[in-house]
Amino acid sequence: MKVLIIGATSGIGKAIAEHYAAENHTVGITGRRTEKLEEIKNSFPNAAIYPAFMDVVNTEESRQKLGELIEEMGGCDVLIINAGVGYPKATYEQELQVVDINARGFMALANYGYEYFKTQGKGHLVGISSVAATRSSPYAPEYHATKAFMSSYLEGLRYRSAKWHENIHVTDIRPGFVETAMTEQNKTMFWVATPQKAARQIADAIESKEAVAYITKRYVLIAWLMKLMPDWIYTKMM
């Protein structure tokens, strides 16, 4: 299987790349820190790993690079879009960056991937959104909003594939707390998963072609509670 991971230099993306490389799949990896990509490649000298620089803020360049990397790999079966950013109590400039990466950058690549799979006649598009897509927060409303955008966009593509019988599977991965650079300052985290455990569950969800998968699985309870909780209680808890 040929798997391409957008945003693979650290955290969940890196763990997913290492998971598939260890199973001898052909793996494409992208990110802004090329030295980190090379570290992954050098860790698996017998695996077919294709690293490429990509900054998803530059949408047209990213789409072009994605096409070049797919060609270099000899095709793609699974495209995993993991690139994302978030800040606690972000400034206005940081909020714009979150929107540019998590929403605009994601949509540009998801659109390209879907159209590629449509031309190919099959494929699997995977987006790493978040449990944060379920409901907003006073601490990072821009982050929650972009994750909700991702989930909604993926849902729409899934409906599109079903309506026109395009044989494209679409999976929305919604992680809870995972040990990453983005969450290391959060001292109130619970049910924290290692990136490796998250990667294993994500790979299982992809193999099962799940529409939506919470990582770890118990986070479906949190999402369920967030959806059902009355606004006045949710506001007080925040």
- Of the pLDDT bands very low, low, confident and very high (cuts 50, 70, 90), residue 192 is confident
Find all residues with CB under 8 Å of 36, minimum gap 6, and list them: 9, 10, 14
CA atoms of 72 and 142, how far apart (whole Å)? 35
Query: Does residue 1 register a pLDDT over 90?
Result: yes
Total domains, the chain: 1
Q: What is the pLDDT of residues 203-218, one digit of tens each?
A: 999 999 999 999 988 8
Residues paired with 53 in a beta bridge: 31
**201 token code pair:** 């569950």
Q: Are strands 123-128 and 168-175 parallel, antiparallel or unpaired?
A: parallel
Q: Name the least confident of 117-126, 181-190, 199-208, 212-221.
A: 181-190
Please say whether the beta carbons of 63 and 112 come within 8 A.
yes
Report the pLDDT value the prediction gives residue 75, as an integer from 0 to 100: 98
pTM of the model: 0.93
- Of the pLDDT bands very low, low, confident and very high (cuts 50, 70, 90), residue 181 is low
Query: Which residue in this structure is represented by tokens 């790999």?
Result: 73
Length of the chain: 238
The range of the structural domain enclosing residue 115 comes to: 2-237
How high does pLDDT run on average in the chain?
A: 93
Work out whether the CA dihedral 111, 116, 121, 124 comes out positive or negative. negative
Q: What is the pLDDT of residues 96-107, one digit of tens each?
A: 999 999 999 999
Report the pLDDT value the prediction gives residue 231, as an integer from 0 to 100: 82
Find all residues with CB under 8 Å of 169, minimum gap 6, and list them: 123, 124, 125, 161, 209
Give the CATH number of the domain where residue 68 resides: 3.40.50.720
